[in-house]
Amino acid sequence: MPEGDTIFRAAQTLQRALAGKPVVFFESMLPALDRVEITGRTIDRVSTAGKHLLMHFSGDLVLRTHMRMNGSWHIYRRGERWQRPRRDMRVVIATDDFEAVGFSIPEAELIATRDLRRHDDLRKLGPDLLAEAFDAGEALRRLRERGDTAVADALLNQRVMAGIGNVYKSEVLFLCRINPFTAVQSLDDTRLASIVETARRLLRANVSEGLAAMTTYAGFRRTTRRDDPQQRLWVYGRARQPCRRCGTSIRVKAQGTDARLTYWCPGCQG
């Protein structure tokens, strides 16, 4: 599943290509998007709210999309060959110069701007880790409320903090030296605050304006600060390989109701 940094960078790229330009062509395979005329509207801006991408059009209209597990936005020059088959296309939004193509997007809707604040999914989001006005205190409070929930599961709850996915869940807890199966209530505020700070630092470090990425951009995301692509992550995806710090074999286990894979080092994280 794309995480908050992926969606943020997709929005950055779409913003650079489309903002301020009128839509000259619109097509969708999703019936919910056929109810309002999009062609002729100007794309005012593209923003994010956690893992939700929001494309704002003139006339107080917003297209909200959520990628879930397999969705992605691509940007192409007009006439350029798509990198995925047309059968995967769900939305096309074209200007004179570019076309944005949403592939395999499972969740999309058009919302009046005035209704954004009342939107059920958006209003329940926790503090957005990539927002300029991120409220660390509120994130800490919401994390503390998870009580007997395993801390790794709590981090995936977008109502606690918006933007963390499975990769960052494992990487953040490794850097904080916290066992992912520890109940939140067993951690003091200092350790919980370190989780919040580390999560925000890692996500912000991976949304450079200098890089363009429309899909999962797995080859770009780094948490180790190492340039070698083979050494970009501490534990995620490294089951049975030696820990980069202590040499202990990295473990992996399905966790939570959705059986998401959690990676951790028994030596560094207990």
The pLDDT of residue 76: 94
Does the 4-123 domain belong in CATH 3.20.190.10?
Answer: yes
The pLDDT of residue 209: 54
Count Cβ atoms below 10 Å from residue 78 Cβ, excluding itself.
Answer: 12
Residues of the chain with pLDDT under 70: 1, 208-220
In the chain, where does DSSP find H-type helix? 4-18, 120-123, 136-144, 151-156, 166-175, 189-205, 266-269
The pLDDT of residue 215: 40
Count Cβ atoms below 10 Å from residue 181 Cβ, excluding itself.
Answer: 16
Classify residue 30 as exposed, middle or buried by CB count within 10 Å of its CB (0-12, 13-18, 19+). middle
Q: Which of 229, 266, 262 is nearest to 250 (CA)?
A: 266
Count Cβ atoms below 10 Å from residue 131 Cβ, excluding itself.
Answer: 17
- Among 1.10.8.50, 3.40.50.1010, 3.40.50.2300, 1.10.1040.10, name the CATH number for the domain at 136-269: 1.10.8.50
Cα–Cα distance for residue pair 260/181, rounded to 1 Å: 13
Cα–Cα distance for residue pair 174/4, rounded to 1 Å: 19
Please give the positions annotated as active site.
2-3, 51, 260
Q: At residue 254, what is the residue type? A: A
Each domain of the chain, given as residue ranges in start order, spans 4-123, 136-269
Q: Which of 113, 79, 107, 82 is nearest to 95 (CA)?
A: 79
